[in-house]
Amino acid sequence: MINKVLKNMFENSKRMNEENILKFLKKNPEAKILDLGCDDGKWTLRIAKKIEAKKVSGIEIVGEKAKFAEKSGVSVKKSDLNKEFPFDDNEFDVVHANQVIEHISNLDKFVSEIYRVLKKDGYIIISTENGSSWHNIFASILGWQIFSLTNISSKKMGIGNPLALHRNEKIDLISWTHKTIFNYLGLKEFFSVYGFKNIEIKGAGYYPFPSFFGRIDTRHSHFITLRAYKK
């Protein structure tokens, strides 16, 4: 019963987080966009539709997912996001990554590559789970693994947290495990270190209260979404 309630809260938070991402996007039919970890391309195309962009590229490490995205109309490069991106300098107006940065082991390379491929005045949108969300804080007080950092092994999910949604399930790929969970200020300062400017953050999800409270108290929301510009 508790897990069912948590799952519903998660889904509501996820939807609100997607709304936050879409609100950060600006209409620009001439924009060239890059989706990092584009999966099957469905969300990538929703982003492109909001921007009204026709030039849509993605990077995806899972071959089967990359093929789906390619068939959907996304120009996909199969590559590892911990390494150099297979694109030229100053190529994109918008770079996006939803629930991806927590899976990256080489964060310095990842963010420096984002900066490299962005055009001047282009922007990045990064969305991830928040280590300072109230449910993560209370899990830590109890001596449990925080909810956002329970899938750290491909052998078993939900390690160290008896209420984790997918406890005891297996992860198909090691690239899907979580490596780093950011807190509000950590995410903001990490991107500023690499020269990004005009940084804004929106929040979504606020367990056990309704998701919209996350927009009021961003620092303790479940999801945090950052938009920052290359100047």
* Alpha-carbon span 59 to 122, nearest angstrom: 18
- pLDDT higher than threshold 90 for residue 1: no
**List of E strands, 30-129:** 32-36, 55-60, 75-78, 92-98, 118-129
User: Residue 6: is its pLDDT beyond 90?
Assistant: no
51: confidence class by pLDDT, cuts 50, 70, 90: very high
Q: What is the pLDDT of residues 177-223, one digit of tens each?
A: 999 999 999 999 999 999 999 999 999 999 888 889 999 999 999 99
CATH number of this structure's domain 2-230: 3.40.50.150
Domain boundaries, the chain: 2-230
Residues 184 and 201: beta-carbon distance below 8 Å: yes
Tokens representing residue 122 in the block? 């282009």
How far apart, in whole angstroms, are the C-alpha atoms of residue 207 and residue 124? 27
